[in-house]
Structure 1
Amino acid sequence: MEIDNYMTPSEASYRWGIPERTLREKFVMSRREHLIKEEISQGLIKYFVKPEGKRGEWIISVKAMEKWYGPEPEKK
């Protein structure tokens, strides 16, 4: 299903077997601002924050995870 190609950071860290904290480092603007903007424009990741909100949410594509960490590991 198409929806399985997109996930939250929590699901992505579980599926790839990496700590969520490690994955969230990919979204630190001060370290990767240019790359983050490029990945957003390519449709690899998405960020949403309500107009009156303070915290936003990330959505990650399978393609972004494969770019960063390689193919999704098979679950045993």
Structure 2
Amino acid sequence: MTPNEAAYTWGINQETVKNKLKPSIVGQDTLDEMIRKGLIKYFLHPNGKRKEWILSIEAMEKWFGKKRSQGSE
């Protein structure tokens, strides 16, 4: 899912999710390891300048725990 979708699904701020994708915050080694494990990936168009991140449920659970139940409780 995209960072925006992940933030919505987990009920957290989008910037909180995006910060997990910044090497200056979490470290390049951490990001590289998560990419290697297939937990996150990105697409960079050949003419593009920004990465389009895709996050797995496993990555979100590692960072933020299980997603909150949606619906009436």
Q: How does the TM-score come out when normalised to structure 2?
A: 0.90
Residue segments in structure 1 that go unaligned for 5+ positions in a row? 1-6
**What letter corresponds to residue 48 of structure 2 in structure 1?**
G
Which residue of structure 1 aligns with residue 61 of structure 2?
66
For 2:11, which of 17, 38, 52 is the aligned residue? Answer: 17
Please give the root-mean-square deviation of Cα atoms over the aligned residues, in Å: 0.8
How much has 1:29 moved relative to structure 2? 1.2
CA distance in 2: counterparts of 1:30 and 1:48, whole angstroms: 20
Tell me, yes or no, if structure 1 residue 53 matches structure 2 residue 48.
yes
Which residue of structure 2 aligns with residue 36 of structure 1?
31
| Runs ≥4 residues deviating over 4 A | none
How much has 1:51 moved relative to structure 2? 1.5
Instruction: Give the 3-state SS of the residue equivalent to 2:54 in structure 1.
Output: strand
Tell me, yes or no, if structure 1 residue 27 matches structure 2 residue 7.
no
How much has 1:13 moved relative to structure 2? 0.2
More helix by share: 1
Q: How does the TM-score come out when normalised to structure 1?
A: 0.87
How much has 1:14 moved relative to structure 2? 0.4
CA distance in 1: counterparts of 2:33 and 2:5, whole angstroms: 23
